[in-house]
C-alpha cells in the first residue's frame, strides 16, 4: 500500500504542521504540561509519518502509546478550558487589536483546542481499532502523575526556581503540600475518566466500522 495516498497520512501531516506552528509562534516553557504534551504529539506523529512511509501502511504505530498521546493532549484541552479558564470562550481572544497578542492567542488556541481535536479525530477515524486493551489505559496515567509529583517536589525543594507553580493546583504556598497533592490526585482522576472515554471511542469506532462493512458486504452480495 502507498501510505502517501491514504487520508490518514495527510491528516497526520496536518497535525504535525499545526502543532509545530503552535510551538514556534510564541514563547513556550517546558515547565507547562501544555508545552510538553504538544511536543509529545509532534514527536509521535512525526515518527508515525516516517513509519507509515517506510512500511507502506495507513496504520499508526504503537497503539498503546497512541492512546496515551490522545489522552494527554485531551487533558491539555480539558484542564485549560474547565479548571483554568472556567469555561471562558476563547474565540474573542483570536481577534484582538494588538498583532503580537493576537498571534500569541492564536498559537495558544491551536495548542489547547485545535491540536487536541485533530488528534481525537485521528484516534476515532483511523485505525487500528480494538487493539488496545482496557487495562492498557492505566499506563496512560503514569506520565501525568509523574509530572505532578516531580513539580510538587520541585516547588518544595527549589523555592527559587522559575515557573515554580505552573498550575494553581501545584501551588504549595496557597494549598500546602498535602492540599496540592490532593488537588493533583483530583486532576489525575479526571485524566482517568478521559482515558476511559478514549477507550470507549475506540470501541465505538470499531463497532461502527464493522457495521458499515457488513452493510457493504450485504449490498455487494445482493447486487
SS3 track for 33-99: HHHHHHHHHHHHHHHHHHHHHHHCCCCCCCHHHHHHHHHHHHHHHHHHHHHHCCCCCCHHHHCCCCH
* Grid cell locating 20: 509545530
Per-residue pLDDT of 52-85, as tens digits, reads 999 988 889 999 999 999 999 999 999 999 989 9
Res 152: pLDDT: 87
Burial of 45 (0-12, 13-18, 19+ CB in 10 A): buried
* 22 has pLDDT over 90: yes
Our measurement of the distance from residue 140's CA atom to the centroid of its chain's CA atoms, rounded to an integer in Å, reads 11
Res 11: pLDDT: 97
- Mean of pLDDT values over 31-47: 97
Per-residue pLDDT of 139-182, as tens digits, reads 999 999 999 999 889 888 888 888 888 998 888 889 988 898 89
- Mean of pLDDT values over 98-109: 94
As a whole-number percent, the residues of the chain with pLDDT over 70 amount to: 99
* Grid cell locating 138: 492505566
* 217 has pLDDT over 80: no
Per-residue pLDDT of 109-144, as tens digits, reads 999 999 999 999 999 999 889 999 999 999 999 999
As a whole-number percent, the residues of the chain with pLDDT over 90 amount to: 69
* 216 has pLDDT over 90: no
Res 1: pLDDT: 62
Res 82: pLDDT: 93
Amino acid at each position: 500500500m502507498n501510505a502517501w495516498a491514504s487520508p490518514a497520512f495527510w491528516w497526520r501531516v496536518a497535525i504535525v504542521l499545526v502543532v509545530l506552528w503552535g510551538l514556534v509562534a510564541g514563547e513556550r516553557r517546558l515547565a507547562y504540561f501544555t508545552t510538553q504534551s504538544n511536543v509529545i504529539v509532534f514527536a509521535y506523529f512525526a515518527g508515525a509519518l516516517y513509519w507509515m512511509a517506510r512500511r507502506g501502511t495507513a496504520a499508526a504505530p504503537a497503539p498503546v502509546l497512541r492512546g496515551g498521546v490522545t489522552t494527554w493532549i485531551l487533558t491539555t484541552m480539558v484542564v485549560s478550558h474547565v479548571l483554568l479558564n472556567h469555561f471562558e470562550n476563547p474565540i474573542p481572544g483570536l481577534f484582538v487589536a494588538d498583532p503580537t497578542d493576537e498571534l500569541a492567542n492564536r498559537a495558544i488556541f491551536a495548542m489547547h483546542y485545535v491540536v487536541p481535536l485533530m488528534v481525537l479525530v485521528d484516534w476515532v477515524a483511523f485505525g487500528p481499532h480494538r487493539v488496545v486493551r482496557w487495562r492498557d489505559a492505566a499506563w496512560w496515567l503514569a506520565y501525568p502523575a509523574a509530572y505532578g509529583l516531580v513539580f510538587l517536589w520541585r516547588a518544595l525543594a527549589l523555592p527559587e526556581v522559575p515557573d515554580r507553580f505552573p498550575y494553581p493546583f501545584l501551588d504549595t504556598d496557597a494549598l500546602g503540600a498535602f492540599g496540592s497533592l490532593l488537588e493533583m490526585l483530583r486532576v489525575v482522576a479526571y485524566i482517568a475518566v478521559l482515558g476511559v472515554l478514549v477507550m470507549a471511542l475506540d470501541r465505538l469506532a470499531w463497532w461502527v466500522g464493522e457495521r458499515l462493512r457488513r452493510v457493504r458486504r450485504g449490498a455487494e452480495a445482493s447486487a
